[in-house]
Amino acid sequence: MEFKNLLFGLSNGILTITVNRPDKLNALNKLTVQEIGQAIQEAKANPEVKVIIITGSGVKGFVAGADISEFLGLSVEQGKVLAKTGQDVFKSIEDCPKPVIAAVNGFALGGGCELAMACHLRVASENAKFGQPEVNLGLIAGYGGTQRLIQLIGKTKAMELHLTGDMITAEQALFLGLVNYVVPQAELIPRCIEIAERIKSKSPKAVGGAIAAMNAYFAEGVDGYKAEIDEFGKCFSSEDFKEGTSAFLEKRKPNFTGK
Catalytic residue numbers, as ranges: 114, 134
Task: State yes or no: residue 110 binds ligand COA (CB under 6 A).
Answer: yes
Q: How many CA atoms lie within 13 A of 139 on its CB side?
A: 21
Task: Identify the bridge partners of residue 6 per DSSP, sorted by sequence position.
Answer: 19
Quote the least distance from Cβ 215 to ligand COA, whole Å.
25
39 or 109, CB closer to ligand COA? 109
Q: Which is nearer to ligand COA, 137 or 222 (CB)?
A: 137
- 64 scored as a contact of ligand COA (CB under 6 A): yes
SS3 196: helix
Choice from 65, 86, 99, 254 touching ligand COA (CB under 6 A): 65
- Spell out the alpha helix ranges (H) of 71-167: 76-94, 111-118, 145-153, 155-164
Q: Is 69 in the site for ligand COA (CB under 6 A)?
A: yes
Counting DSSP H helices and E strands in the chain, the numbers are 10, 10
Site size toward ligand COA (CB under 6 A) is: 17
Specify the DSSP element, H or E, that contains 162: helix 155-164
Task: Say how far apart CA 64 and CA 60 lie, in whole Å.
Answer: 9
Indicate whether 168 belongs to the interface with ligand COA (CB under 6 A): no
DSSP 187: G
> Is 66 an interacting residue with respect to ligand COA (CB under 6 A)?
yes
Interface residue with ligand COA among 114, 134, 231, 240 (CB under 6 A) is: 134
User: Shortest approach of ligand COA to residue 65 CB, angstroms?
Assistant: 3
d(CA 84, CA 23): 26
Nearest distance, CB of residue 225 and ligand COA, angstroms? 37
